[in-house]
Structure 1
Amino acid sequence: MSLKSWYEANVMPRLITCACSQGQVMKRRSAVVPLARCDVFELGCGGGINHEFYDPAAITSYSGIDPHEGLLDSARAAARDKGWTADLRQARGEAIPFADASFDCAVCTFTLCSVDDPAQVMAEMRRILRPGGQLLFLEHGRAPDRDVERWQERIEPVWKPLAGGCHLTRPIGSALIGAGFAVDQLGEGYTPKAPRFAGWMEWGVARKLQ
């Protein structure tokens, strides 16, 4: 196994899980994930970080995908601890292995930054949502301030291989609107105590247009 493969299999998932479960990040999750209702799908469910915020009484079924099998093991364990029967599969967001109009709600937290083709992933999430379904999102991405954005552009080529393909410069709300969602922004801003180049977040509800 090459050093790169070893890093991606053993180190990178732990680093990402740690970074994505810091206090301020978890505070943002707690504002978004409890809104999930009925038949729920989670994109990038590996690690099971969001499980503590789901309201079991509001959820009929829970499914999800993640490309990393090791992280899926943690997600399955978290589902068992919650008493859920969960359908969690190893897959990528560009080809979600569920039928059209399968879900009332999709949850996407800190995932669109690292997918290969965000437009295709968003199209797939529209496909699996029922008419009027909603996508709950919490993502970091392109900052609105040009000085921060310039630093994001400089740092991104070095950042991506260290952070599992994470992009710093991808737009969030505007990309969802372009993908055919109506976006209700619940909040946006820089994460306290985080480097500004990696700290811009947007979160809200994106509704599937008919």
Structure 2
Amino acid sequence: MADLSEFQHPRFARMYERISAEAEQRGTAEYRDRVLAGLSGRVIEVGAGNGLNFDHYPATVVEVVAVEPEDRLRALAERAAERAPVPVRVVPGHAGALPAEDGMFDAAVASLVLCSIADVPAALKEIRRALRPGGELRFLEHVRSTNPLLGLLQDALTPLWSRTGGGCRLNRDTAEAIRAADFQVERLERVHYSPLRFVPPHAHILGCARTPS
């Protein structure tokens, strides 16, 4: 098994367990439904966290392999998998070296995770490797604001927040990273909402991209 010691953030994991429940009630659950709607076949979820996506997978999904490096969050995901409406197998691993054979999956899911991955191009390359030709990448991510002042504020806050927030970056242009990784973006929505009471509404993207056939 890969050495996952660098991915352990127990303080952040405990905080995330609390704040993610609030975020679900403030709109994130609805966006999970929209991102995962229509998926089918075998799915690999990258950075599954505490498993909050699992309840939202449609019955047309035959298996989810949920990859999570952080020990506490992975344990929570294993519990969530027991209640999931589709078969979910939670496995240790990280986005830079996915535990998957080439072309093994019909779809991949990246949900509120690409913000915290150190090497996004390498992670997207791994996701492409794990997908069959023409496979889908479904994504839901918070991103840098297109408002110049808000974007500069995110730039200023990111170094501190990244140290306390499990490596999360507030200022990534994730849509451009997906395109640069040779995915064909088929659907892209930009939404603004406040997942937490103490956080002002900020930009998120959700949508679907596909590997070349």
The equivalences for 1:130-209 within 5 A come to 130-192=132-194, 195-196=199-200, 199-209=202-212
Contact 1:182-1:207 within 8 A present in 2 as well: yes
Q: Measured at CA, do residues 24 and 88 of structure 1 come closer, stay the same or move farther in structure 2, by a change above 3 Å?
A: same
Q: Measured at CA, do residues 193 and 20 of structure 1 come closer, stay the same or move farther in structure 2, by a change above 3 Å?
A: closer
Contact 1:36-1:107 within 8 A present in 2 as well: no
How many residue pairs end up in the alignment?
202
Q: Provide the residue aligned with 1:28 in structure 2.
A: 31
Q: Provide the residue aligned with 1:13 in structure 2.
A: 13
Tell me, in whole angstroms, the C-alpha distance in 2 between the residues paired with 1:102 and 1:143. Answer: 35
SS at match of 1:185: strand
Q: Provide the residue aligned with 1:107 in structure 2.
A: 109
Shift of 1:27: 1.8
Tell me, in whole angstroms, the C-alpha distance in 2 between the residues paired with 1:84 and 1:65. Answer: 16
Deviation per CA, 1:22-64, whole angstroms, max 9, x where unpaired? 1222221121123321001101113110111111x20111102
The answer for unaligned runs of 5 or more in structure 1 is: none
The equivalences for 1:19-168 within 5 A come to 19-21=19-21, 22=23, 23-55=26-58, 57-82=59-84, 84-168=86-170
Contact 2:45-2:108 within 8 A present in 1 as well: yes
Shift of 1:159: 0.7
Tell me, in whole angstroms, the C-alpha distance in 2 between the residues paired with 1:193 and 1:90. Answer: 27
SS at match of 2:53: helix
Q: Measured at CA, do residues 201 and 165 of structure 1 come closer, stay the same or move farther in structure 2, by a change above 3 Å?
A: same
Contact 2:115-2:141 within 8 A present in 1 as well: yes
SS at match of 2:89: strand
Shift of 1:90: 1.2
Contact 1:43-1:106 within 8 A present in 2 as well: yes
Tell me, in whole angstroms, the C-alpha distance in 2 between the residues paired with 1:184 and 1:16. Answer: 31
How high is the TM-score relative to the length of structure 2?
0.87
SS at match of 2:32: helix
Shift of 1:118: 0.4
Q: Percent identity?
A: 28
Tell me, in whole angstroms, the C-alpha distance in 1 between the residues paired with 2:195 and 2:87. Answer: 37
Tell me, in whole angstroms, the C-alpha distance in 1 between the residues paired with 2:148 and 2:66. Answer: 36
Q: Provide the residue aligned with 2:3 in structure 1.
A: none
Name whichever structure is richer in helix by fraction.
1
